Amino acid sequence: DTGVSQNPRHKITKRGQNVTFRCDPISEHNRLYWYRQTLGQGPEFLTYFQNEAQLEKSRLLSDRFSAERPKGSFSTLEIQRTEQGDSAMYLCASSFGQGPGYTFGSGTRLTVV
């Protein structure tokens, strides 16, 4: 069990560029979650998958954001036409069923300049 792995750890991009983050969950976990965290705030839910199906999306997930989990293994989160307001830590977590609890990765810190 190597935990939840997120890549890259840091990403700096220019406004208007597209970025993609990857999350590798714990292998036996069937649920995968994406959260976003801005400075001084707690993580905010974005979306979750059960196997390859995306079952829930927050209203925070605008049409510039898309998440996939092909084959129910790793997941990618893409942000198109990045804006400065997208600067945040993007956290991935996984669980088997509802838990108990999730295991979080260390996150990808995005800075949009």
Partner 1 sequence: DAKTTQPPSMDCAEGRAANLPCNHSTISGNEYVYWYRQIHSQGPQYIIHGLKNNETNEMASLIITEDRKSSTLILPHATLRDTAVYYCIANTGNQFYFGTGTSLTVIP
Q: Is the CB of 44 or the CB of 80 nearer to partner 1?
A: 44
Stretch that binds partner 1, among 12-20, 50-58, 65-73, 76-84 (CB under 8 A): 50-58
Q: How far is the CB of 39 from partner 1 (least distance, A)?
A: 11
Question: Any contact of residue 70 with partner 1 (CB under 8 A)?
Answer: no
Q: Does 103 bind partner 1 (CB under 8 A)?
A: yes
Q: Which one of the spans 11-19, 54-62, 68-76, 79-87 is the region binding partner 1 (CB under 8 A)? A: 54-62
Cα Rg, the chain, nearest whole Å? 13
Quote the tokens at residue 42. Answer: 């707690």
37 forms bridges with which residues in the sheet? 89
